Amino acid sequence: MKIKKMDHFCIAVKDLDAARKVWEPILGKEPDDTYVDEPEKIRVARYWLGGVGFELMESTAPDGPVAQWIEKHGEGIMLIGLNVESTREAIAELEAKGYPFVAPPSPIADDITGKARPFRDCEFALMHPRKTNGVMVELIDYKWKELESL
């Protein structure tokens, strides 16, 4: 598996607007990107810091994965993302080594592995935190052409 770079990390928050008021004075900027991902039940504010994404992530539903994470672990770092050459190849390699993945909610699992999820022009997969010291690891093969000038 080829890791190209540290891609991003996510902080799970109960209230995205309140979290922005805490973090933006520290970061010295407003988000570079904001989005809602309905299938994943999240609302995100992303800040680019030296080509690495710093993300604040709020659940859009009480039963969403971020809400469940916060209920179990509290607010804080939930996920680190690694940019890989191929998400599907990384899944195959790591599953062969015994690393479990979190299956996406239906109906977005339509690929061969049942683990890769669509995002913009790429795919990502989430490794289960039980094997990675309680931290979810995301593998994502997005090319980030918009960051080439950084």
Beta pairing partners, 63: none
Cis check: omega of the bond before 107, within 30 degrees of 0: yes
**CB 9, CB 46: distance < 8 Å:** no
Cβ neighbours around 46 below 10 Å, total: 16
Give dist(CA 142, CA 150) in Å, integer.
16
Predicted confidence at residue 132, as pLDDT, reads 94
* pLDDT tens-digit series, residues 25-84: 999 999 999 999 888 899 999 999 998 999 999 999 999 999 999 999 999 999 999 999
Cβ neighbours around 69 below 10 Å, total: 20
Domains of the chain: 3-143 (3.10.180.10)
pTM summary value: 0.82
- Is the pLDDT score of 113 beyond 90? no
Cβ neighbours around 6 below 10 Å, total: 14
